[in-house]
Structures are given as C-alpha cells and as structure tokens.
A and B are shown apart, each in its own frame.
Chain A
C-alpha cells in the first residue's frame, strides 16, 4: 500500500513553545490530507481537512490560529501547534488521500507539553 511518513514520532516541548509536525506522502500525490488527534482510549477526532494549495477547513471547536495547517505541495502537509500548553498533549495523526478513496495514515506523533 501507499506510504505516508509522519515526523517526528515523539516530541516533548516546553509550555509556550511551538511544535511543527510533518506529514509526507512518499509514493503518491496527496490531494487531500487530514489531521486527527486522539486522546487515550478515545476515537480519532478530525481536526481539519486540507486540500493542496488552499486553506484548511477546520472542524468546529478547533482553533485555527492555534493549530496552523499548511498544505503547500501534493506531498507535504504540516501541522504547527503554536504556544503549546499541557492540555495540547495528545497523539496527532495525519492521513493522506490521492485519487483513490482510501486514505493512508502516518505513524502518528506523540506530543507531550511540559
């Protein structure tokens, strides 16, 4: 199957700093990328959907100024958590979809804000 690479897999940052997470589709062009967060023992929560070259569409309740999403190319999307706080600690997962219906997931990023 197609490969989506997400980096970093784990990051620990200090409260108030910003963290950037990258999501790359390695062997296909991702016209749409999705960003999720997942708290322990809970379902994936869609944060935003981004299409290449256009602004991301954020789900209700997700602060777009706090979670900056850039989808500048067909193979790369980034999520930047700005001014991170301990409550932002979570598991962030990207997925990418090309022409086919199936979306492929990155490995996820475990963010811990201390």
Chain B
C-alpha cells in the first residue's frame, strides 16, 4: 500500500532551525512535494525533489533519498509566520499526490 509517515506535531523557537522528516512508500515514484498549509487555507507549494540530494531555496531546504524512501524539510531562521502544517506529498506512478496528515509546526518566541 501507499503510506506517508511524518511527526504529528513539532515545536521550535523563533530564530532556530527545525527539520521535519518524512518517510514514504508509494507505487512508483515521480518526485516528492512539500507544501505549507496555514489553518483554514489551501496548501502552498514549497519544494519539489525528484533526484537525490538537497535543494535549497532561501530559508527552506528539502532533501530526498529515493533508495531510503526518505525526505526532510529544513527550515532556518524560524519566524512566527512559519507556524503552519507542513505536508509531505510524494507522487506515485500515476502522477497522483499521496497525502499524509502533515506535521503541525508550532513556533514559540
């Protein structure tokens, strides 16, 4: 079956760094997306990895290891506005996004 595993909730301090891990099992693989979702809003795109390695985009970086079925999202210099849910969504062989429940990130001053 297809499965996504992320921590349910994480807490971090403003200005710090946090890493949100994601392990996945899918039928085929066509890349992995990370989305940010604030409460009551639709998800917004953060990153897309299709090859192994680290993709850096400003304060956010995303890493992928296809052989391990593993990805992480790294957030640096945390700001209060980063409090949101972070969704790891791999894409299967049918180009369907597979969604987990996401990780709720709480930023404290």
Instruction: Show the binding face of A for B, using Cβ within 8 Å.
Output: 1, 6, 32, 34, 41-46, 49, 91, 93, 97, 101-108, 110
Contacts and interface: CB of A to CB of B under 8 A. Distances in A.
A6 B42 CA distance: 10
A6 B45 CA distance: 16
A96 B102 CA distance: 21
A46 B96 contact: yes
Interface string B41-52: 111110010100
Most buried by B among A34, A44, A104, A106: A44
Which 10 pairs from chain A and chain B are nearest by CB?
A108-B42, A43-B101, A105-B42, A43-B99, A44-B99, A93-B42, A105-B43, A107-B42, A43-B100, A102-B48
Interface string B89-104: 0010001110111100
Q: What is the interface of chain B mostly: helix, strand, loop, or mixed? A: loop
B21 interface: no
B1 interface: no
16 contacts: A1-B45, A6-B42, A41-B101, A42-B101, A44-B43, A49-B96, A91-B40, A93-B43, A97-B95, A101-B91, A102-B33, A103-B97, A105-B43, A107-B41, A107-B42, A108-B41
Interface of B: 30-31, 33, 35, 40-45, 48, 50, 87, 91, 95-97, 99-102
A101 B42 contact: no
Contacts of A105: 35, 42-45
A75 to B, nearest CB: 18
Contacts of B100: 43
A23 B95 CA distance: 20
A41 B104 CA distance: 9
Given A44-B99, A105-B42, A105-B43, 8 more contacts: A44-B87, A93-B42, A101-B30, A101-B91, A104-B45, A105-B44, A108-B41, A110-B40
A104 B44 CA distance: 8
